[in-house]
Amino acid sequence: MRAQRLDLEDKRYKLLKHFKLVDCTPAGELVLVHRTQHLMLRIPCPASLGDLDHTVEDAVRSYAKERTFLKRQWRL
């Protein structure tokens, strides 16, 4: 049953368009897989569903920073 929906057209969640939700861990983390880059993104379970949008936004932001860091490191 869907508990909440995030608008993927929103700039904050636009990166999620390239991910597919594949699982949920026993701890409640959402596990998403990038469709072409073979990357995984784990989004922690927020204390309440009302905080899900902020939790996802933080996860996407940290994913983008980490991906950029790894790409720069790989080039060296």
Which mean pLDDT values do the consecutive 10-residue runs of the chain (76 residues) have? 82 91 91 90 89 91 89 81
- Give the model's pLDDT for residue 17: 92
What pLDDT is recorded for position 4? 79
pLDDT of residue 39: 87
What is d(CA 13, CA 58) in angstroms, rounded to the nearest whole number?
Answer: 10
The dihedral over CA atoms of 44, 52, 60, 7, expressed in degrees to the nearest 10, equals 150
Residue 76's pLDDT is what? 64
